[in-house]
Chain A
């Protein structure tokens, strides 16, 4: 089975090397592709120097467009499984195996690495958890799927899902919306426990006033996505 790790990266010069070192030395069975979304720091230089596999977006697209490029790459190169993983050190490669296992066993089409099953490791702030719980409730209400960690960017999907995401992927703050898209296309989602680290470099893209915008935008997007008809192939 061909497995691809998609690593969206925007200004990750502090953490990307450590992650790629680890992938190269301990997980050579997985391919990876870093999507450099017009970083303004040394990310691109680091990628070039170590001759890493990367896509270099000529224009900044944001996380959604970046990740989607990864899915397009997976689609064009015939990958069976695509794993999405942040380049900022929050997601540990140790869990890659757990995250793809349900797909290999054909128990799920999409797997989400969740912080909130065992409640271990980095749990985010109370305010953020409140927001995540709200969105999780909304997803449950609209699709009947119980997903606890709706904003987790540590996910694995199978070929069917790759095809859908390559065509249709939300552009900003895409994680919760992608769940709805997965659900309305009749795909099976499950969560597996992972322990996340507090980021080792960079800073979160969502804070202060943006979090209000985030909540409103994502809630709306989830509701609209629910009422969008299933894509015909």
Chain B
């Protein structure tokens, strides 16, 4: 890994962490959903600081170039995060459904009770 690439990646990772912490500070991200992102960032940082790990992995995975291994790792992390986001959305969807149904039931109750009063 060339020193230039290393610096570029380090800067990128720094920006990445700054974004996360900024959003966390502003309470625009919930920490429990952010842990995966932070973990991914630490992994990226580790790889950039110790490319030797990659050389080791290269030997056993059949990936040809170091840079490719970095990209592969990043894409892998992204996919994991996307799956987790889909799962979060699904949970929200199901919570929302329950609320909507409850809402409809209460609305019907209110109508019924209003009818009785009149």
Q: Within the assembled complex, what's the spacing in Å between the Cα atoms of A53 and B104?
A: 12
The minimal Cβ–Cβ distance linking A61 to chain B, given in whole angstroms, is: 6
Kindly list chain B residues whose C-beta atoms are within 8 Å of the C-beta of A65.
97, 100-101
Complex: A76 Cα to B105 Cα, angstroms: 9
Q: How far is the CA of A2 from the CA of B113 in the complex (A)?
A: 20
Q: Which residues of B contact A59 (CB under 8 A)?
A: 96, 100
Residue of A35, A56, A65, A73 most packed against chain B (CB within 10 A): A65
The total of Cβ contacts below 8 Å across the A-B interface reads 38
Contact with A along B75-118 (1 / 0, CB 8 A): 00000000000000000000011001111110110000000000
B100–A58 contact, CB under 8 A?
yes
Question: A49–B84 Cα gap in the complex (Å)?
Answer: 47
Docked-complex contact B103 and A58, CB < 8 angstroms: yes
**Does A61 lie within 8 Å of B97, measured CB to CB?**
yes
- Which of the residues B96, B97, B108 comes within 8 Å of A55, measured between beta carbons? B108
| CB-CB nearest in chain A for B107 | A56
Cross-chain pairs A/B with CB under 8 angstroms, 27 sampled = A33-B108, A54-B108, A55-B104, A55-B105, A55-B107, A55-B108, A56-B104, A56-B107, A56-B108, A57-B100, A57-B101, A57-B103, A58-B103, A58-B104, A58-B107, A59-B100, A61-B101, A65-B97, A65-B100, A65-B101, A68-B101, A69-B104, A69-B105, A72-B101, A73-B105, A73-B108, A171-B97
Q: A interface vs B, CB < 8 Å?
A: 33, 35, 53-59, 61, 65, 68-69, 72-73, 76, 171
Residues of chain B having any CB pair with chain A under 8 Å:
96-97, 100-105, 107-108
Besides A55-B104, A65-B97, A72-B105, 4 new A-B residue pairs in contact (Cβ under 8 A), listed by A number: A55-B107, A55-B108, A61-B100, A73-B105
